Structure 1
């Protein structure tokens, strides 16, 4: 078959048009591209029928993107761009956008629909003056498209919150869940309890500095009003009855023990909680909620309810008395009793209570909304909650926790997020409201790191909740690539979309090399040796000849891309040994393998999930190192991780033994661990002065597991993880 010249030209033009389509994220439900385009100019007129729509913001965004200043007119007849309301659009957040060569018309039922349509128009405009002719009929798949931000571990000011509300609106996210209280800081003014902001909003860090901050009630109102203009509902969270140590630091009389307490500096779960047996505690909660809830027009009030240890309640006469007086079975039913009483307070203010999925413990009211996070706890939990008749917001750790690094949760994983279980009956689907990406800030200390962790993953999340996976990931990835120009224009310091590079340590008879590979197209690698301050191009495996860090960094378009991979080396004799373990490492913490204990690379001191640490769940481990040639030893250093908040405990005991023949062993030293850290510490065991340890054939290191998780821990009684890394022999 032959094609004539005109047909070829039409095909080429069609291909070019397809390649140059504006980026639409999240992609609309229905898009029909037409020929031609609307030309923007300083003479373009705008009329907005909806008085609640923030016209100035839209005009400013058009100016920011194009330099064009739209002219606002007083009636629709004069307008070439017309935003109008109509009951013809049935969905609350739906809209119809029609662009022709002569006009742009946006129709919606509600202000939120107008906002959503205006965002699509801004994306169509991009940075050009030509808006392609198109008809878009659109509405979201899920009503709840949220982001939760924890401002208690690290505080973010009003301007940062506003900038995130702008970005959320640009991707049609509509719920901002504001996590305002924690053990590490109380962030909202309560005038009846001034010490909550004078004292509980600040903590004294380990270096003696004072850290913290809070929002006044006027600032809260300012943020809520700003969010409303962006079509975003603000849901406050006051976490209770656990995660309340900051409040108890000022008002210890509402605890089981009476204190004293300090605002916590360590992350994790803490035993001291509100006393559920004290009637004055409920008065305290009532007063706080009655003062806070009117600041938020949202029909929802989040009361947390997660990670509440029961140790204090078990020992508290008031709590035990309450259990007996109310005919409760145990402390779990006491938590349910507490939650149900608080729910009545929430309902009395005309709101619905929502909480993390621990509010299920001991029984749940029919009207509570559950936010599920523990997908590891019960894979069928969403279905079970919906079948109970309760609404559920789906925020599983495996896809929605943006404090997890990109290696753990990448953009593709987030894009494939589907909140509705495949085995949930269709008539129950309405109970799955949607989902939230959650941003816990233990390791997010500033705005730059916040951007890095949230973007671009939140963009994939927005599309998953708006339209699902209709376009396919490859199509989304192409659009995302173009979207970085917009993020750059807004100064967003985004992170990578997936793991940037792989690093492997090669150990051949004690000769160490670092081998790296870029995993993303367009990324080049550079590295820096311990004795250098300058990055140089990576071309081949790097020989390790000195103690210190070799840092490898990905670069894209001339800018650092992703986190650098730092390999901290110690030159020592174990590099030349053979090693065996009595117990195989547990998945998924086995990437380093057995050789990872003697490859010369130290694990990160702030991150147990890096590839150098290896983990064992509830088991003792014996490492046996054998030298081909008998070796004199002067010192041994061992390392273990301790972070009980992450279910990791340092070994209860470490014993070092040595043998001159590889058969008979003599105990050299034992180390015992008493301290437990919630914050993540590397414990180092040093054995020195081995003047008699000459001509050693073999070394045994016996690590005794830390035992069951301690009383009061969320997993109390369950086996702890043991994490170890480099065995350093000098």
Structure 2
């Protein structure tokens, strides 16, 4: 047997080390696109021995550390250790720096360590989501790995808008606690910050109110559901009772908080009231009888604001809602409220005479003002659909512009804060392909990924007026969405486009670049078991 010389071993080592050193850099493809990304040669190797090291923390940092430590648990066979101490090698070093903007973060990946610095624990969590998207997609499904290479990079990032949300309608069709949690996970992956939870409507009351237990005994179920678009034919199958107990709601709130997501509950008033009126018919102008609605649309049976008991009911409901949800904002609806019943109602007309109102529009404005004042005493702000602008709504109310951008522009110009949710850009119950015969049945319309991405939320406003646009949101109404798999299909990948609209500065966005990154993100959806629409996979890459 030939002897191997010492010189040969040295040469072999040099070759091997040289091969490692020349390992090609990996592309950094993150959604939403960070503000500044500088790629450096080399990479950091994450291993089971890597420590999550909190150099400077905060009281609410633990959920972020838990997320990071468990992300690779299935792949490594163990969670990463979380420790506290000075900056270390082979560590993810975390610094919470309150001198930075609350949502801003710096992420530096070097040969010996990963350093994360954020203005808050939430910002650190956003850095972790960026780091996550730099890992192989196999991490998401627990593929066994000895180590994970992460490209050396410097990222400086912060969101364009603080409110980045998606609404889930659980009234028309219900989704379980576990499905709602998965929805929250989807928001977190895209660095979205708000879950707007639509909890009451004509077709179902979905939140337990202890003062009014009949709401979920009666209002949470309908006798049957119309087939198709109000065809006059029904399925003959009772739907419900479906609702969330307060304990389940607390569980979901905590789950969202652990992902630094705020939940905004929506309690519809004074319209979209049939589930409540079926329970308490004395709260309507005619006294009923009413039933939980079996069709879709806008209906003339609405709450009676001329009846003082109606305000007692709203206040009793909102007392419990305000106590349950720790966020500052409660959505009160305010949309699509026909006023014909008020014109014929003696109590409403008496209220109008007493308050010296000219028309029924002023009665709705009175309702909104009174509810806003009540919630203000509880430290809450109201958010309402853009119909609230039809009256002299206060400047402290937040306007949600859904009928295009017009309401948002009007609200911003008069000094109200605005969330842009224009239906022609951000209604995710609309078809996402014009070949509708090959799509799941939907309400209509057409909003594809490119259309979502083209939204400029501050268009039509001066720079100063544009500051009143605090956010953007997508809405998923569920008249025709009967399963959570269908819901995911309607949300993804349009949610990725919305996330980048909300996060990345307008001048830094470019659709073909986004498209390349979005295609890669769909691989992560697949690894996570998410159902998603695949239309963008057929679109040409920008470099082809």
- Normalised by the shorter chain, which TM-score bucket? 0.7 to 0.9
Local SS of the residue matching 1:125:
coil
Aligned to 1:485: 523
Distance 1:471 1:520, change over 3 A: closer
In the alignment, which of 263, 268, 274 is matched to residue 292 of structure 2?
Answer: 263
Aligned to 1:167: 186
The answer on 1:102 being equivalent to 2:121 is no
Note the C-alpha offset of 1:242: 0.3
Local SS of the residue matching 1:264:
coil
Note the C-alpha offset of 1:240: 0.5
Aligned to 1:390: 416
Note the C-alpha offset of 1:40: 1.3
The answer on 1:190 being equivalent to 2:209 is yes
The answer on 1:465 being equivalent to 2:502 is yes
Q: Deviations over 1:154-186 (max 9, x none)?
A: 001111111111111111000000000000000
In the alignment, which of 488, 491, 511 is matched to residue 454 of structure 1?
Answer: 491
Note the C-alpha offset of 1:59: 1.6
Within 5 A, what are the aligned runs for 1:561-576?
none
Structure 1: stretches of 5+ with no match in the other structure:
1-12, 501-518, 523-730
Within 5 A, what are the aligned runs for 1:62-81?
62-64=72-74, 69-78=79-88, 80-81=91-92
In the alignment, which of 38, 56, 62 is matched to residue 66 of structure 2?
Answer: 56
The answer on 1:402 being equivalent to 2:399 is no
Note the C-alpha offset of 1:199: 0.9
Q: Give the distance between the partners of 1:58 and 1:312, measured in 2 at CA.
A: 55
The answer on 1:327 being equivalent to 2:327 is no
With normalisation by structure 2, the TM-score equals 0.86
Q: Is the 8 A contact 2:352 2:363 kept in 1?
A: yes
Which protein has the bigger strand share? 1
Note the C-alpha offset of 1:381: 3.0
Aligned to 2:454: 416
Q: Is the 8 A contact 1:271 1:310 kept in 2?
A: yes
Q: How many residues align?
A: 485
Local SS of the residue matching 1:59:
helix
Aligned to 2:98: 87
Q: Deviations over 1:13-63 (max 9, x none)?
A: 9x9957x41421111111111111001111111113344231222222123
Q: Deviations over 1:257-289 (max 9, x none)?
A: 000111111010011000011111111111110
Within 5 A, what are the aligned runs for 1:659-674?
none
Structure 2: stretches of 5+ with no match in the other structure:
1-19, 138-146, 225-233, 434-445
Q: Give the distance between the partners of 2:310 and 2:83, measured in 1 at CA.
A: 57
The answer on 1:218 being equivalent to 2:247 is yes
Q: Give the distance between the partners of 1:285 and 1:82, measured in 2 at CA.
A: 48
Which protein has the bigger helix share? 2
With normalisation by structure 1, the TM-score equals 0.64
Aligned to 2:143: none
Within 5 A, what are the aligned runs for 1:203-602?
203-205=222-224, 206-212=234-240, 213-375=242-404, 380-407=406-433, 408-421=446-459, 423-469=460-506, 470-497=508-535, 520=539
Local SS of the residue matching 1:238:
strand
Note the C-alpha offset of 1:70: 2.0
Greater Cα radius of gyration, structure 1 or 2: 1
Q: Give the distance between the partners of 2:59 and 2:74, measured in 1 at CA.
A: 23
Q: Give the distance between the partners of 2:74 and 2:524, measured in 1 at CA.
A: 11
Note the C-alpha offset of 1:362: 2.4
Q: Deviations over 1:207-265 (max 9, x none)?
A: 33221310111111111111111010000000000001000001000000000111111
Q: Give the distance between the partners of 2:75 and 2:489, measured in 1 at CA.
A: 23
Q: Give the distance between the partners of 2:195 and 2:24, measured in 1 at CA.
A: 37
Two-structure CA RMSD over aligned residues (Å): 2.1
Note the C-alpha offset of 1:66: 6.4
Distance 1:266 1:357, change over 3 A: same
Q: Give the distance between the partners of 1:178 and 1:65, measured in 2 at CA.
A: 34
Aligned to 2:4: none
Q: Give the distance between the partners of 2:186 and 2:78, measured in 1 at CA.
A: 21
Q: Is the 8 A contact 1:50 1:83 kept in 2?
A: no
Distance 1:65 1:487, change over 3 A: farther
Distance 1:151 1:118, change over 3 A: same
Local SS of the residue matching 2:93:
strand
The answer on 1:29 being equivalent to 2:67 is no
Aligned to 1:178: 197
Aligned to 2:227: none
Q: Give the distance between the partners of 2:277 and 2:126, measured in 1 at CA.
A: 43
Q: Deviations over 1:518-561 (max 9, x none)?
A: x6569xxxxxxxxxxxxxxxxxxxxxxxxxxxxxxxxxxxxxxx
Q: Give the distance between the partners of 2:153 and 2:487, measured in 1 at CA.
A: 36
